[in-house]
Chains A and B, each alone.
Chain A
């Protein structure tokens, strides 16, 4: 492939060829099977095709639908389900795939921890009205004893880190360069939990 190119492009080809920087002595471990399944579920959605059916009026469709014995059975089942389902459902911990996690109500508040933050930033955030005042706290350095889901805004390392209830770091991003964007960056990080 390279030979067919003008000579002045050979070095660019070499750069690209070495850009993945893998060592042949390191053998990659097997890809987790569920990783492809989850990503395929996310990206490989086939759009539903419109069914071609003979034209029937809306009123006729409704009449024929209600007249079916299955309608009565289904309606009954729906009522039973509506009454019992809330008590049967319990929030479960999802896998590491944030998109697949069930959205479960929780009474545990998310803490926003500002590390080594200038005092005016803490004041601005509290007064912004974007967050509950009690949710924001400021510390001077990284505190390993903190528990619970939290968003840590580290002004020393210029990073925002999202830590879930299990203490796992699930997302990291850089602080926005524009201080006016800080509030929305924190909100975006909170939404990752």
Chain B
């Protein structure tokens, strides 16, 4: 039924929202009970914005976005209330020792800028992660240190137009890690542009092994949420929302995101085929060809519109 919701759709939405509520950011882990509350409230909140059920892709993207925001907000409030930035931090996250106080890092004075002494501890946390990333990109030694210094400046530099510094974006401290990783990534591109050639790669600097082989504090450099090449579905949806039709989103969502059906399943689904414009009575091979074309078109659009 058009505009109605099926239990399987809500179940899928529930599963992903629950997971997002449990770990809204890499390094944050809330209790399962709290995740349940956040996911339920977020799904209910989003449902209030619709008179008819939209596509599963749209509803799930919006519910995920609301869940992620609510969970981060709740974690932030509890940390502020209990004056403990370590609350809800995943004890298995060993990228660094302890969280810093985000409120203090974000404290700003019009004359003194970001002046809090908490800033003294931030380079110690970000440096090994940044140097590892830069090393992988072939930037080492003094060059890597220069790029790293630039990235710290970038964190507090007011953006043109909004006058808003990137450090003010995060809701929880753990978000600084992916934020900084993105800055490092962009700055490394700038560095290569300035150098103009790949050949100038000094073979010196911090050893990645030295940072990773320590049995007590082996650094985990891979932060999935930090990787601009590994975006969340809600981000993909936001960036490409208008490029795809509702039917194209549904196709992509079913086939590749939730993988809840195969093309063969869709070929046999008369109602779905009709919805995407395949007339009743056409052969299976024609259905397959039309669905494949629609899928390729949709994937091309996502590829073009996704901001790297």
Contact = CB atoms under 8 A, between A and B. Distances in A.
Interface residues of B, number: 63
B170 to A, nearest CB: 10
B263 A1 contact: yes
A19 B231 contact: yes
Contacts of A144: 81
A41 to B, nearest CB: 10
B69 interface: yes
B190 interface: no
A172 B19 contact: no
Given A16-B236, A19-B233, A22-B19, A4 B43 contact: no
A43 B52 contact: yes
8 contacts: A5-B296, A9-B303, A13-B256, A35-B40, A36-B7, A43-B5, A43-B52, A99-B44
A9 B296 contact: yes
Interface string B246-262: 00000010011111001
Contacts of A38: 44, 47
Given A17-B259, A18-B230, A96-B44, A39 B10 contact: yes
Contacts of A156: 106
B23 A26 contact: yes
A169 B73 contact: yes
Interface of B: 1, 3-5, 7, 10-11, 14-16, 18-20, 22-23, 32-33, 35-36, 40-41, 43-45, 47-48, 50, 52-53, 69-70, 73-74, 77, 80-81, 106, 171, 224-225, 229-233, 235-236, 252, 255-259, 262-263, 292, 295-296, 299-300, 302-303, 306
Please list the 5 inter-chain residue pairs (A to B) with the smallest Cβ-Cβ separation, ordered nearest first. A19-B233, A16-B256, A43-B53, A31-B14, A28-B18
A21 B224 contact: yes
Interface string A148-174: 000000001101010000000111100
A61 interface: no
B22 A26 contact: yes
A97 interface: yes
Nearest to A27: B32
A120 to B, nearest CB: 16
Given A9-B303, A15-B231, A29 B257 contact: no
A98 B257 contact: no
B262 A99 contact: no
Contacts of A172: 69-70, 73
Contact of A28 (B19, B80, B232, B256): B19
A20 B16 contact: yes
Contact of B255 (A1, A22, A40, A142): A1
Contact of B18 (A12, A29, A36, A39): A29
A32 B225 CA distance: 28
Contacts of A9: 296, 299-300, 303
Contacts of A157: 171
A26 B36 CA distance: 13
B77 to A, nearest CB: 8
B5 A44 contact: yes
A174 to B, nearest CB: 9
Given A1-B256, A5-B296, A19-B231, A43 B225 contact: no
B10 A22 contact: no
Given A20-B16, A42-B47, A98-B45, A15 B306 contact: yes
Contacts of A39: 5, 10, 43-44, 47, 53
B162 to A, nearest CB: 8
Contacts of A23: 19, 23
Contacts of B292: 4
B19 A15 contact: no
B5 A31 contact: no
B15 A22 contact: yes
Contact of A96 (B15, B41, B106): B41
B226 to A, nearest CB: 12
A44 B69 contact: no
Contacts of B300: 9
Nearest to B76: A157
A6 B297 CA distance: 11
Contact of A36 (B10, B235, B296): B10
B10 A31 contact: yes
A53 B57 CA distance: 43
Contacts of B20: 21
Contacts of B81: 144
A142 B259 CA distance: 44
